[in-house]
Copies of this chain bind each other. A is one copy, B any other.
Amino acid sequence: MKHSEGIEAAIHVATMLAALPEGDVLPGKSLAQFHGLSPTYLSKTLKQLVAAGLFQAVSGPTGGYRLARAADQITLKDVVLAIEGTGPIFRCGEIRQGGKGAPGPEAYPVICNIHAAMLRAERAYRDALAEITIEALVGEFEKEGTGAAKEWACVFLTEAGRKQNTNSREGPQNDTAT
């Protein structure tokens, strides 16, 4: 009952992409360097986020990743489910009717109350995650972060960020400079 390491990376990367100018992309290699992670393993996590429809990937020398939706339309719940899978935390094996000699399923018409209690807790967890959007996290960092930390992130975004001519979420950017 522990989250995989990739969860932390996925959320941090998502906030980075959210802080990026609309349509721009960040390559996985740069993201790994910025966070001090293995590029090859981070790509595995990023792949999952693309498969889940949260990120978009662009190939080629100027390629990278960007958010597939607006940052206020992506929650921590989305990210967690993309990495950990959408299956339930608690899997009820109906062991209450597993013993030899136990009455059949007709004797258990309602859901196991233990199962129900665990589902309530699981729902509380995911609801709490669903309340936090990536945009909110970026906003908190902008407000609470120290000067050095913000500058460090800003420099990274400026250096590693890449304009994209083909922008699927908006029209092409007018700004073509560098």
Contacts and interface: CB of A to CB of B under 8 A. Distances in A.
A149 B96 contact: yes
Nearest to A140: B113
Nearest to A88: B2
Contact of A36 (B34, B98, B114, B120): B98
Interface string A72-112: 00001000100011011111110111111111000111100
Interface stretch (A8-16, A47-55, A63-71, A168-176): A8-16
Nearest to A35: B95
**Chain A interface residue count: which class?**
35 or more
B146 A107 contact: yes
A95 B4 contact: no
B125 A122 contact: yes
A35 B99 contact: yes
Nearest to A117: B132
Contacts of A58: none
B127 A3 contact: no
B113 A121 contact: no
Interface of A: 1-5, 7-9, 11-12, 15, 33-37, 76, 80, 84-85, 87-93, 95-103, 107-110, 113-114, 117-118, 120-122, 124-129, 132, 137, 140-141, 144, 146, 148-149, 152, 156
5 contacts: A76-B118, A103-B152, A107-B152, A124-B124, A125-B125
